Chain A
Amino acid sequence: MRYSLMSLLRQTLAGHKGWTPQWRDAAPKAEYDIVIVGGGGHGLATAYYLAKEYGLKNIAVLEKSWIGSGNIGRNTTIIRSNYLLSENISLYELSLKLWEGLEQDFNYNAMVSQRGVLNLYHSDGQRDAYARRGNMMRLNGADSELLDREGVRKLYQFLNFDAARFPIQGGLLQKRGGTVRHDAVAWGYARGASDRGVDVIQNCEVTGIDIVDGRAVGVQTSRGAIKAKKIGLAVAGSSSRVAAMAGMRLPIESHVLQAFVSEGLKPIIPGVITFGAGHFYISQSDKGGLVFGGDIDGYNSYAQRGNLPVVEDVCEGGMALMPAIGRARMLRNWGGLVDMSMDGSPIIDRTHVKGLYLNAGWCYGGFKATPGSGLVFAHLLAKDEPHPAANRLLLDRFRSGHIVDEKGQGAQPNLH
């Protein structure tokens, strides 16, 4: 059913009896042309674009739990393309452009809200780095504005300008950045993919990858063997574990990233703000919760939860930047597993196993990349060659040295 105000009114009059499941809860078939492992945002988006843009039909998305149960279900909902390096900007800007038309495209209101993303700077060195970044964004077709202190003050009077340990000197603003209702993205893609014939299969855990003569031919799952001509892995957080089924060691560690939401409050923070002198960023959801976060906990983890020191660190950053939130209460705090790659940038590539493709290493950039990642991964799966917007985010870059290291931290995943 197409969603619209009319359909909503019609259903209201009919007592809402006519709404059907938003996606078919499919059972696995014996064989597919393409199997996507991972029913999170990236996996569902990949399936959606394979069906919609590349005309492929016989596709399954396998999810070990319920769809959207991974990082698309627990993140801080920010979208932006304000990166430094062309390799990343091109992908994230492609993604941002897709976000801009996504809701009409998949007929689902994901509340894409381009309310602006502001990264604050507190020193001349940071200003210079943001100038370079803003220029690189412009060079790659993204929008950026370098604000001085007064420019920031015009946007956000309530920030701590006067009694700050690291006074705000200005910021880099991307007006087209913003937030999205994260769960709705998974549902919208699932619905769009399902409507186009994709089997969205929940509670189906992949337990093995069948490889014959160096070629992937199928997967073993908790619901039986499934043959596939091509297999795409989109299982951020568990990438190493699943890749190990195909005998691969990845330049990735799994880490926990915590995020926080406050009780619902009347609107106070219009956009997204990132503190440049600590680990803190914040926005406010349409329901009124302050949504904020900071750094990863910093140690390998598969536990989907973090610890107090990072909670404290994040709140210290918040109170340094905006002491007005001191009396707002943190309502919930959760942890997501993130693939931290060795250079802080994602990997979208073929593998040494023919027919096996990898989409991994998103660090904490995965949510905002969802549409772009889906599209370029669909391209890779369909055409067997990288999409032009992601043709340098390849696995062999670590061996050759063409690394994509935004922060210049080197091969130390917890520092990215």
Chain B
Amino acid sequence: MIRLSGVGKTYADGTVAVQAVDLEVAAGELLCLVGPSGCGKSTTLKMINRLIEPTTGRIEIDGRDVTGEDPVKLRRGIGYVIQQVGLFPHQKILTNVMTVPLLSGGSRAAARARALELLELVGLDPATYADRYPHQLSGGQRQRVGVARALAADPPVLLMDEPFGAVDPVVRVRLQDEFRRLQRDLGKTVVLVTHDIDEAVRMGDRVAVFAAGGRLAQHATPAELLARPADDFVADFVGSERGLRRLSVTPVDPALLDPVDGVRIGDLGAAIEVGATLEQALAAMLRSDRGMVAVRRGPVMLGVLTPDGVHRALRASLSPAEDTGSTAPD
């Protein structure tokens, strides 16, 4: 568990990068930090592993004040993906990824096996890339090596600064999914910085939205954030298309289905499971070009969803009658 209480950072020239922020990340939770460029996301992240010392406030990990800890030991237990990637230019890709396990005294063979596995995971074929140097990789490839490097030591806590920023959407979605699965399976606590609100909504258990000047504007679940932005800034940041964005977080609601009677089976090109999101439903609808899609739970057909039904579901999800744990700091 990570807890920030009144944490702030003012740079030497007087720039206030972060203003007294209170935040909590439960163990096993993935928190996304989003916000406009320059709002203090990276600064906040680096204060957690003490690459930057806060000017005010206190930071605890599992109840221990980090300022009291040996920074080296602290960081050993925290994976870190740096925004500028920062690969070691003098080491081959494989060696770069093996670095942290070796640091902690692991065996070479184990570190190597793990590194090869992780290179696969981030979509870099070890046969091609393991023996290259960083300058022989493309921008997105380098970034992925950076992610693999941070994952290699299997740290219980991970800090990631725009880990997928330079990667194309196909690979990104794959990485996001893989990473999310890994994180859930292993119960890792993660703080992930992104400027991509879609990524934040898709990946975060909670999302912290920062406003310019390092103010924490809202700290909430993705659904809550989209449904009830704490203020105009958040609403604006989440986007005028936030309704549409909800497509990807709102599940199909059986109550809003049209009855299946009178619909001939031949008219139903595609069918989706009831747990699917509205976005998937709409995509299926467009793919099959039928103006509707069947929704079932296992073998049981529950009804059909029409565009109108999607719209009603969206509207329902935006109505204020929803339970949340949102906090909107002062």
Do A and B interact with each other, yes or no? no
What residues make up the interface of B, taking CB atoms closer than 8 Å to A? none
Using a CB–CB cutoff of 8 Å, the interface residues on chain A facing chain B are none
